[in-house]
Amino acid sequence: MKIAAITEDGTTISQHFGRAPLYVVVTVEDGKIVNKETRNKAGHHTFAAYQDAPLAPGERHGYDAGSQAKHTSMAETIADCQVLIAGGMGWGAYESLKSRGIEPVVTDVENIEEAVKLYLESKLPNLMERLD
């Protein structure tokens, strides 16, 4: 199993999926971490040069075609992962990840290794109220 976490420093979980520049991907076998790697992540910094089109009437942020293309770009790097741990994200990103077979978990646990350990013990809080 592979579990990704968004991060800015390789150790702590970032607060927002779209803003984090990196993933830490942890490989777990038999309940133990056997590998850890850092991968670059597309995000708001990558798309800064692109102007978002105004939302159509009734269209929710994160669900428009432009946002979905960004979510796809951000998810491609972790297509081999089953779980993504984040401190927060938008509903559009959350649902986009789920549609790709990646379980998003939004938590207040800051340390990546601690969060992975808690996830494996089914004790990592998934704080849906942190979705915006």
How many CB atoms lie under 10 A from the CB of residue 100?
16
pTM assigned to the model: 0.83
Residue 49's pLDDT band, with cuts at 50, 70 and 90, is very low
Q: What is the DSSP string of 17-64?
A: TTT--EEEEEEEETTEEEEEEEEE---TTTSTTSPPPPPPTTPPTT-S
Domains of the chain: 2-48+61-130 (3.30.420.130)
Residue 59's pLDDT band, with cuts at 50, 70 and 90, is low
Structure tokens at 42: 């597309």
Residue 74's pLDDT band, with cuts at 50, 70 and 90, is confident
